[in-house]
Structure 1
Amino acid sequence: MRRWIAIKQTNEALVTSSDTGERIAAVVGAAEAAGYLYTSEDEPLWLRGSITGQPYQGQTPLSLMKEGSVEDIMNVRRYLMGLTQGGPGPNDVDRDFTPYTDDDLKWE
């Protein structure tokens, strides 16, 4: 990251893979949304706190963004963006939702 910041300060071209570019854009978008939602004191608590609801499934938002796929990072970003646009967090029913499995589907 420091290398990228140094390149940006010298106005050199920053060349990355499309995967890295997507990850950077998603993390920046999530950080921007978190900045609207949380004070500077609350943001670290939220980032490091374990969340059981979707998309986190017991992971912290920070670990999901660091270790997850691009889609995981986008899910964190979408969740935060939804909250900034007035969407509520998970309600009591959704908080403990277990995803359906093939065994749950019955075809007649």
Structure 2
Amino acid sequence: MTARMLPGAPVAEAVLADLRPRIARLVEAGHQPGLGTILVGGDSASGGYVNMKMEKAAELGMTSPHIHLGDDATQADVVAAIRQMNDDPAVDAMLIQHPTPKQIDFEAA
């Protein structure tokens, strides 16, 4: 079997093309959708990925509330951040950037 390269850019653009009008309709109806992000720790690559998500959200007309917890965050801190995002009316969806520090049980969060 020969390996075949699958470029991600066309797939990403198709997803964004689908999202743009859907987000625009929500904004026109008076609701600006929001993607909340939670970053635990100081992993620079993870921070870069979160920044890219926040920039793309802004380009699409979405808000992007963000919580950054330190390397010493506890499981309780992560759960509290999730609850804070759940209680924020500006957040329609959220993600916890992976990987998290070893003391965090990502699946339990």
Structure showing greater radius of gyration is 1
Normalised to the residue count of structure 2, the TM-score between the two structures is: 0.31
Normalised to the residue count of structure 1, the TM-score between the two structures is: 0.31
Q: Which has the higher strand share?
A: 2
Q: Which has the higher contact order (CA 8 A, sep 6+)?
A: 2
